[in-house]
Amino acid sequence: MTCRQGKRFAGGHIRCMNMEAYVLYYDAVTSKNEHDDSRAIMGVNTAGRLSKKSMVIVEKPEINLDTMIRALWEAGPQIHAILRHTGDVESAREALWSFLNQQEWLLLQPNELMHALEKTAVRESIRVLKNIIGPANEQLTGISSLEILWELAHREDLSSLDISPGFVAEFIHLFRGVAGKSGIYPINEKGEMRTPMFLRLHGRAAGRERTVALDRVASKAETYLNRYPTGLDPDVIERRKINKLKILRYFGATEEEWEDHVWQIRNVIQSLSPLEDLIELIPENRQALLLATRHHVPFGITPYYLSLFDERPSQGRDHAVRAQVLPPLDYVHHMVEHRSDRSSAFDFMGEHDTSPVAHVTRRYPGIAIIKPFNTCAQICVYCQRNWEIDEVLAPTAMVDRESLDHAISWFEEHPAVGEVLITGGDPCIMKDTSLKRLLDAFAEMEQIYRIRIGTRTPVVLPMRWTETLVSLLSAYHEPGCREVAVVTHVEHPYEITPELLTAVTRIRSAGMSVYNQQVFTVENSRRFETAKLRKCLRVVGIDPYYTFNVKGKFEMKRYRVPVARLLQERKEEARLFPGLDRTDEPVLNIPRMGKNHLRAGQDHRLIMIRRDGSRIYEIDPWEKNLAAVPTYVYTDVPIYDYLNELARRGENPADYDTIWYYY
């Protein structure tokens, strides 16, 4: 096992003496029952753990895996006894199954000492543990967590045991859940779950007390929201005016040229030198960009989007902006390594297998995608179709007339397809004449009742949304007959600017709707960070539509977030805001299958824990109950590693401690 700093875990001891390891060690081996009523909203401040101002660790002991394993057995003494006193794994499986059945039976008995909500947590934990010890799931995954646990219970020498702290942490929390000691809900000094005061009152008194409690929750949520600046904040607007002037001077351009989307496209930054001259780059960024340009890995930033950067990355506000377009070094290495086989290495969603003809993708009955233009104004690092893009604004990006006509004719031959999503690449980078020709063709098809435009230009090139473009699109928007909808991709509140607001206002004034698809990455997954985005989206006239858990592509590993974090965000953060602020659906995209709706808990199951702490899920297809399509086995990123990354960024992992109980 190797820690983040590259040192070895020798003799089972964790040698990483850093904040991340210590905080998570503390969470793994201590009880959470001292939390106050606001724990789920604001997290915990346990005395002696972290300095509130500097987030620097105070005095701490050396952390070792032996201590964590002791905490594991303390969390589940009965489970430990079963594992310890059975002669082989199969005997342990049988005894553990009987124990879990007995625990379920006890839940159905009168028990005033355990709250109904804690019982629910117990049921969920039992269900998950049963899945994990199930022989069918071991066969499906090729892994046996039970065998690892059994071996762990029988070994005295742990020096050669190949497991991570993340594996142990998962089972500490799972065993606590089975025992009814999850710590999700605060308890009083008598060990009883604390009942909110307003539930002990009646009538107007109860209403007033509830108002006090809700004000407290709302105030604490607002404290979090205020951590995240937006592009509409007056001080941010003023800073970006300075950035804009600096960029204009660099390119020798005028204000009029800045507002011309053609000028912006002609001056898309595709090399290192403008960036080095205009902003500060960390060494890894510089090395990655040099390698990317040398090997023609697609890279580009519009001058406008560059103006959204802070001059120095250490300021932290622009982290999500930078992370979208400045590729990490491992990403570039991976792209270079697979340059000759990109279509097989990077086509994670299996679009080759869902493409009936060139430039068309269809995964669902009533909608299909057409891709007429194979590039964008700039490249998002975690793009689903990075394997298709040769270079930014390549001269050959536009599909030739014959191929495009063939793709359009496919829609004519399939009248069941009533909605077309025009995407790519970004169709709004096409010339107006080319876009009009495409729209004319679809408007002539009687079955097409919705034309969806997938574009990121409102965010990266808002000056593209001229009155001319809006008039062009709105000409095909005929209420009662056909809808034209714009779907964009705002990733972070820092991208919401006056320029974006102007573009969206023009679109909506013409009667068209604007929707947002956010990719949930490590860059926008902090407490209430995405809730802040939703709130801002609604204010500027964009409806939250989908929140995609970032795809499991290898080159995107730095951006990935555990499924449990998105589930936690939906339940503990988004849920605090009105329904119109949370109209998006959290989904996980599955290769060849499409979207798995994560809120539909019956459509995915946690079935195994890998030695590195990764959860393995079995995912049902959208065709469930319609057709016998095989399920998909998905390996997530370890929660432990994700919390370590948050700690590295200055977050307190204790603020996220219920994450372990989202399955």
3-state helix/strand/coil string of 60-109: CCCCEHHHHHHHHHHHCHHHHHHHHCCCCHHHHHHHHHHHHHHHHHHHCC
Per DSSP, 400 falls in state P
Task: Give residue 388's pLDDT band: very low, low, confident or very high (50, 70, 90).
Answer: low
Mean pLDDT of the chain: 87
Q: Is the pLDDT confidence value at 520 over 70? A: yes
What does the pLDDT average to over 144-160?
A: 89
Contact status, residue 662 vs residue 656, Cβ threshold 8 Å: no
Residue recorded with tokens 């031959």:
413
What does the pLDDT average to over 210-229?
A: 95
pLDDT given at position 145: 98
H or E segment and range at residue 592: none
Q: Which residue has the higher pLDDT, 334 or 172?
A: 172
Q: Which residue has the higher pLDDT, 641 or 593?
A: 641
Task: Give residue 31's pLDDT band: very low, low, confident or very high (50, 70, 90).
Answer: very low
Q: What is the pLDDT of residues 277-300, one digit of tens each?
A: 999 999 999 999 999 888 888 889
Task: Give residue 385's pLDDT band: very low, low, confident or very high (50, 70, 90).
Answer: low
Residue 96 to residues 82, 131, 145, 230, 498, Cα–Cα distance (Å) = 7, 12, 13, 52, 60
Q: What is the pLDDT of residues 366-380, one digit of tens each?
A: 999 999 998 888 888
Map out the domains of the chain as residue ranges.
10-195, 234-333, 342-595
Least confident piece of the model among 30-44, 203-217, 627-641, 647-661:
30-44
Contact status, residue 61 vs residue 24, Cβ threshold 8 Å: no
Q: Which residue has the higher pLDDT, 266 or 63?
A: 266
Q: Which residue has the higher pLDDT, 32 or 490?
A: 490
Least confident piece of the model among 70-79, 292-301, 344-353:
344-353
Task: Give residue 44's pLDDT band: very low, low, confident or very high (50, 70, 90).
Answer: very low
Strands 543-549 and 513-520: parallel
Q: Which residue has the higher pLDDT, 425 or 135?
A: 135
Q: Is the pLDDT confidence value at 141 over 80? A: yes
Contact status, residue 634 vs residue 587, Cβ threshold 8 Å: no
pLDDT given at position 341: 62
pLDDT given at position 18: 41
Tokens of 439: 């729209």
CA dihedral 304→305→307→308, nearest 10 degrees, is 140
What does the pLDDT average to over 107-113?
A: 87
pLDDT given at position 585: 95
Residue 530 to residues 517, 573, 663, Cα–Cα distance (Å) = 12, 9, 20
Per DSSP, 527 falls in state T
Least confident piece of the model among 29-43, 346-360, 526-540, 609-623:
29-43
Residue 489 to residues 179, 458, 548, Cα–Cα distance (Å) = 43, 8, 11
Task: Give residue 593's pLDDT band: very low, low, confident or very high (50, 70, 90).
Answer: confident
Residue recorded with tokens 């056909």:
482
CATH class of 342-595: alpha beta
* pTM for this predicted structure: 0.89
Least confident piece of the model among 19-28, 66-75, 192-201, 435-444:
19-28
pLDDT given at position 477: 98
Query: 3-state class of 597 per DSSP?
Result: strand
Task: Give residue 326's pLDDT band: very low, low, confident or very high (50, 70, 90).
Answer: very high
Q: What is the pLDDT of residues 496-519, one digit of tens each?
A: 999 999 999 999 999 999 999 999
Task: Give residue 162's pLDDT band: very low, low, confident or very high (50, 70, 90).
Answer: confident
Q: Which residue has the higher pLDDT, 310 or 65?
A: 310
Task: Give residue 54's pLDDT band: very low, low, confident or very high (50, 70, 90).
Answer: very low
The number of beta carbons lying within 10 Å of the beta carbon of residue 127 is 15
Residue 403 to residues 207, 371, 501, 600, Cα–Cα distance (Å) = 65, 11, 36, 39
Task: Give residue 323's pLDDT band: very low, low, confident or very high (50, 70, 90).
Answer: very high
CA–CA gap between residue 561 and residue 30 (Å, rounded): 25
Q: Is the pLDDT confidence value at 551 over 70? A: no
Q: Which residue has the higher pLDDT, 388 or 46?
A: 388
Rg (C-alpha) for the chain, rounded Å, is 27
pLDDT given at position 354: 86
Q: Which residue has the higher pLDDT, 73 or 57?
A: 73
Residue 142 to residues 357, 607, 611, 637, Cα–Cα distance (Å) = 36, 11, 12, 18
pLDDT given at position 444: 97
pLDDT given at position 336: 83
Q: What is the pLDDT of residues 238-272, one digit of tens each?
A: 999 999 999 999 999 999 999 999 999 999 999 89
Task: Give residue 342's pLDDT band: very low, low, confident or very high (50, 70, 90).
Answer: low
